[in-house]
Structure 1
Amino acid sequence: MKIKPLICKITGLTLALASLFVSATPDTSSKDNKAAEKLYVEHCQSCHGVGRLGAMGPALFPENLSRLRKNKAVKVIKNGRPATQMPAFDKILNQTEIASLIDYIYTPAKELPKWTLADIRATNIQHFEQSKLPNKPQFDADLMNLFIVVELGDHSATLLNGDTFEPITRFKTRFALHGGPKYSPDGRFVYFASRDGWISKYDIYNMKIVSEVRAGINTRNLAVSSDGKYAIVGNYLPHNVVILDTKDLSPIEMIETKSSEGVSSRVSAVYNAPPRHSFIVALKDVKEVWEIPYSDKGGVDVYKGWAHDYRKDGGEGKVENWKSEDRFPVRRIQTQDYLDDFFFDPEYINLIGTARNSHNGQVINFDTKKKVATIELTGMPHLGSGITWDYQGKEVFASPNIKEGKITVIEMENWQVIKEIKTDGPGFFMRSHSKSPYAWADVFFGPNKEKVHIIKKDTLEIVKTIAPAPGKTAAHVEFTKDGKYVLLSIWDNDGAVIVYDANTLEEVKRLPMKKPSGKYNVYNKINYERGTSH
């Protein structure tokens, strides 16, 4: 395969983006609107993107703000938004300027921004011809005990040796990575998604980014199939999922995320469900969850007994206008409420989601497509960061809470809350390892952000609280593949990754880094270790 010069690819990208920006241009005919646009460029564009298309922050169009009333939007601009990077502007902008900005972002574009398969293809960059790169690692290390450390401070990532805790290499990434990198099944490649839709494929063996593509305008995250053939990208804007060929990140299919009644929806997140050989799609604006099998046989050769859903004469849940050549049919699962923030049991039979209106947790069985339980949950549990372990002979699920200072422990046989562990404030991440007696939980939000709680899994009690960097946020731990060491991040531009002995809980080493947001161990991720997020 001949690789085209990079300048040609970039030229095509420039043309595609230029057409996108034109189509997304708001009506700026009035002087007031032009003044508001100037305010936007000065104060908002660095996070929310050129033309309001989104970058680190979300795209700002009425369609993206449908659940945020204008009076609440005023408060967000004035006071900022807790648990996000949205700052307060009450001392920078006056009341008239804030009102002007509100009118501007709630003004529809002349034409909604579009990002077609042709647009995606025009952005595809092949930096290196993969077949010509060495098929073995160009360094000496245990490949299963490597970490990718994402450093948001200067948009870089570090490839870290999990045995020596020495960096192997450090490389630049796209702006504002989001959703956590995902590995190929053999651990050779890692895929990144940025807020503004860029997907990058990094060859760990050769320490090079080999392929890139822009799959959306405002992207939530990506997932990689268990066979390593496909990646799925979930987007806030446009409202769709995009399926890529992992060989070169070329787009295969774009599926608009509309309900069975035709209501368009943003995508909250996408997941891989290994035992089911399918992708799961969480929808933010409609009461549906999607399951998309990635079998090459169009859904006939899929998990367990629901293959009949994809035949023309199938029963409940059949795909309309299904054809045998369809590669990625959609199986719709109706829900009783809008579901936010998902967790799956280890067998991927049940989905646990936070019900937005009912203010509880709901358990949905994938096979029956029915709600099988309601969990009494308050505050804002961060289910996506939950973990499981065995407690008194039964499997339990534990979740931190973004709004309340507690960790909720749920028994997974009858879906009952068995304990709420009081913490020093709301938390974001929780991690453990099947070989460790401890679970680690941060206190990400509030005045105690420097603290991390260590919980004994067999007693459900906090046995130690550490504050390794006073005044700086301590968050997100990840274990080595054998569970013997724990890596903790100090979320600061003058930050660090701190290594602890997972048994003695003593500090072993401190590596300076620039706002290391997350650390991702190859073995734990590709084996879906119970103590880490999936």
Structure 2
Amino acid sequence: MTIAGKISKAGFIAAFSLLGLAVSQANASTAPAMTDAEKEAAKLIYFERCAGCHGVLRKGATGKNLEPNWSITQPDGSKLEGGTLRLGTKRLENIIAYGTEGGMVNYDDILTPEEINMMARYLQHEPPIPPEFSLQDMKDSWNLIVPLSERVTKQMNKINLKNVFAVTLRDAGKLALIDGDTHKVWKILESGYAVHISRFSASGRYVYTTGRDGLTTIIDLWPEEPMTVATVRFGSDMRSVDVSKYKGYEDKYLIGGTYWPPQYSIVDGLTLEPIKVVSTRGQTVDGEYHPEPRVASIVANPLKPEWVVSVKETGQILLVDYTDLDNLKSTAIASSKFLHDGGWDASHRYFLVAANASNQVAAVDTKTGKLAAIVDTAKIPHPGRGANFTHPEFGPVWSTGHLGDDVVSLISTPSEEKKNAKYKKHNWKVVQELKMPGAGNLFVKTHPKSKNFWADAPMNPEREIAESVYVFDLNDLSKEPRVLNVGKDSGLPEGKAIRRAVQPEYNQAGDEVWISLWGGKADQSAIVIYDDKTLKVKSVITSPEIITPTGKFNLYNTMFDVY
């Protein structure tokens, strides 16, 4: 959900949490009246702001179930019932306006009071079911702008491509390509609404973007100025893509996964021509059928010709073999429900993914193709790709922050190096929790050449916390983190809305850290660049075209999974 905005009245946040949906309140048997125009407007707002956490069908995952009525049979046979009809319009208005302690932000300065009331009424109606999206629909949407035969055969510019940053300008529906050496904006291109992720080809020539409108673009970095060479739509909400990277298959295929419809699709890696669509509907790890098991994170296995695909609601991790698409082979690994994002350990053998609503992290051994572990963590882990470093006491660790708890969890990971054999007893355990000033973390980051560990807290309700980042000293993790107020360091005047500091990202050399200062669409935002050693500001990238910057992806670090 969009996180620009100001949250106040901390008591309200706790009092109106959706954790207690089954409440004793006067039941409403029918939903409040709405005009057709209101329903259409509310449907759009829900898709843009809410569906990512609560699901298109409102069955919940990271966010709570928002169906008008729901019933759960508990292990003892008793039933727990609830729903938005039981909450009623006034309470729903308060939840939307002020947020909840579980990580939902306020919308009182994003939506008007009239829109908040409209959304409170809309949530008491049955959710509309959007249309499916077939292989033919994908083919109809495919646009090959520059065929392979017409593309340049060598790099025509002098940009150091390995240090280029692809920056999402979320609400503008654009992607900024920024020269990491000069800190100058190289090119801004149309990319579709709310790009969620940028990935790079195995060759480093192409950028792939995908976002909430289901549109995937491929951008060629070799011409004098970067240009979009092909587009295709995968569905109506999309979160991840990756190319084939195994030797002999480099950039041959690209896979993308959608939240709606719940499926993954495979296209040509250089032209985006659609090839295959595979549904993910099916049984959860609990043995129940789920109609909306959304595809979350996708990564390419460097050890085998396969992709690792996380299916959110079912808790299934799929190893999809791309050597023979006509006779597609896929291994389903049962883990934990509500899978979200994740990354590789330092050895690039184990993929760790947050099962955020289950408060767990699942680890897959991609060498053996089996589940390695399920690790209990603090509330609502949200690692991004996570961060790897060697702990002075516990050896190699992978880390995740939490949306719902004020700690960063460090998980011991296996190593085949003899020097790390002494740490084996700690493997797949949370060996330490780093204390944060509050909950609401989205991303953590470090670099092999750095002695610092960076964590943000953009989902925290307090302005000072949300506008700051926190830097831990890897030489002494017992020390409190250094606090860098990115909002003040940007030099921008303080506005009504919180400008949230989000997603630390290193440059190729590992000596700079870039932070997005994410304001509202009408506010001036910025990217603040810090020297990793001195923690002093080196540069601030701010101009009218830098609108709602969020994710930043350095080409080299993204290609080689450096985090």
Place the TM-score, normalised by the shorter chain, in its bin.
Answer: 0.7 to 0.9
3-state SS, counterpart of residue 330 of structure 1: strand
The amino acid across from 2:198 in the alignment is P
Question: Is contact 2:303-2:366 (8 Å) kept?
Answer: no
Question: Is contact 1:185-1:228 (8 Å) kept?
Answer: yes
3-state SS, counterpart of residue 221 of structure 1: strand
Whether 1:506 and 2:536 are equivalent positions in the alignment is: yes
- Could you say which residue in structure 2 is the equivalent of 1:117? 135
* TM-score normalised per structure 1: 0.78
Deviations 1:130-160 (A, max 9, x none): 4223223332221211111221242222221
- Could you say which residue in structure 2 is the equivalent of 1:222? 241
Whether 1:38 and 2:42 are equivalent positions in the alignment is: no
The amino acid across from 1:183 in the alignment is F
The amino acid across from 2:261 in the alignment is P
Question: Is contact 1:275-1:347 (8 Å) kept?
Answer: no
Question: Is contact 1:428-1:444 (8 Å) kept?
Answer: yes
- Could you say which residue in structure 2 is the equivalent of 1:92? 114
The amino acid across from 1:168 in the alignment is W
Decide whether aligned partners of structure 1 residues 376 and 458 sit closer, same or farther in structure 2, where only a CA change above 3 A counts: farther
Decide whether aligned partners of structure 1 residues 32 and 480 sit closer, same or farther in structure 2, where only a CA change above 3 A counts: closer
- Could you say which residue in structure 2 is the equivalent of 1:281? 309
- Could you say which residue in structure 2 is the equivalent of 1:198? 215
Question: Is contact 2:383-2:444 (8 Å) kept?
Answer: no
The amino acid across from 2:107 in the alignment is P
Question: Is contact 1:200-1:209 (8 Å) kept?
Answer: yes
The one of 144, 154, 161 aligned to 2:162: 144
- Could you say which residue in structure 1 is the equivalent of 2:504? 477
Deviations 1:436-462 (A, max 9, x none): 111111121220101111111122234
Decide whether aligned partners of structure 1 residues 371 and 248 sit closer, same or farther in structure 2, where only a CA change above 3 A counts: closer
The amino acid across from 2:400 in the alignment is S
Aligned partners of 2:52 and 2:194: how far apart in 1?
A: 5
Deviations 1:57-76 (A, max 9, x none): 87744678994443554566
Alignment of 1:346-385 (within 5 A): 346-355=346-355, 359-366=359-366, 371-385=371-385
The one of 487, 492, 515 aligned to 2:514: 487
Q: Compare 156-165 and 345-354 and name the one that shifted more.
A: 345-354
- Could you say which residue in structure 1 is the equivalent of 2:22? none
Alignment of 1:35-434 (within 5 A): 35-46=34-45, 48=47, 60-61=56-57, 67-70=65-68, 73=84, 78-80=94-96, 81=99, 83=103, 87=107, 91-92=113-114, 100-104=121-125, 106-109=126-129, 113-178=131-196, 180-206=197-223, 207-226=226-245, 227-259=250-282, 264=291, 265-296=293-324, 325-326=326-327, 328-335=328-335, 339-355=339-355, 359-366=359-366, 371-392=371-392, 394-413=395-414, 414-426=427-439, 427-434=441-448
Aligned partners of 1:478 and 1:63: how far apart in 2?
A: 33
Q: Compare 237-246 and 71-80 and name the one that shifted more.
A: 71-80
The amino acid across from 1:128 in the alignment is V
Decide whether aligned partners of structure 1 residues 339 and 43 sit closer, same or farther in structure 2, where only a CA change above 3 A counts: closer
3-state SS, counterpart of residue 303 of structure 2: helix
3-state SS, counterpart of residue 314 of structure 2: coil
3-state SS, counterpart of residue 399 of structure 2: strand
- Could you say which residue in structure 2 is the equivalent of 1:306? none
Aligned partners of 1:273 and 1:423: how far apart in 2?
A: 33
CA shift for structure 1 position 205: 1.6
Aligned partners of 2:524 and 2:185: how far apart in 1?
A: 17
CA shift for structure 1 position 166: 1.5
Aligned partners of 2:389 and 2:471: how far apart in 1?
A: 15
The amino acid across from 1:519 in the alignment is K
Aligned partners of 1:509 and 1:78: how far apart in 2?
A: 40
Aligned partners of 2:428 and 2:455: how far apart in 1?
A: 22
Whether 1:435 and 2:449 are equivalent positions in the alignment is: yes
CA shift for structure 1 position 350: 3.2
CA shift for structure 1 position 347: 3.9
Aligned partners of 2:374 and 2:430: how far apart in 1?
A: 11
3-state SS, counterpart of residue 199 of structure 1: strand
CA shift for structure 1 position 210: 0.8
Equivalent pairs: percent with the same residue?
A: 22
Deviations 1:292-331 (A, max 9, x none): 01224x6xxxxxxxxxxxxxxxxxxxxxxxxxx51x3111
Decide whether aligned partners of structure 1 residues 355 and 520 sit closer, same or farther in structure 2, where only a CA change above 3 A counts: closer
3-state SS, counterpart of residue 403 of structure 2: coil
Structure 2 residue ranges without an equivalent (≥5):
1-29, 69-81, 415-426, 489-493
Aligned partners of 1:468 and 1:521: how far apart in 2?
A: 20
CA shift for structure 1 position 351: 3.8
Deviations 1:161-180 (A, max 9, x none): 111111222222211111x1
Aligned partners of 2:222 and 2:329: how far apart in 1?
A: 34
The amino acid across from 1:412 in the alignment is T
Decide whether aligned partners of structure 1 residues 407 and 57 sit closer, same or farther in structure 2, where only a CA change above 3 A counts: closer
CA shift for structure 1 position 92: 2.6
CA shift for structure 1 position 373: 3.7
Aligned partners of 2:211 and 2:116: how far apart in 1?
A: 32
Decide whether aligned partners of structure 1 residues 140 and 119 sit closer, same or farther in structure 2, where only a CA change above 3 A counts: same
The one of 513, 520, 528 aligned to 2:553: 520
Aligned residues: 464
Question: Is contact 1:59-1:218 (8 Å) kept?
Answer: no
Question: Is contact 1:481-1:524 (8 Å) kept?
Answer: yes
- Could you say which residue in structure 1 is the equivalent of 2:424? none
Aligned partners of 1:85 and 1:210: how far apart in 2?
A: 37
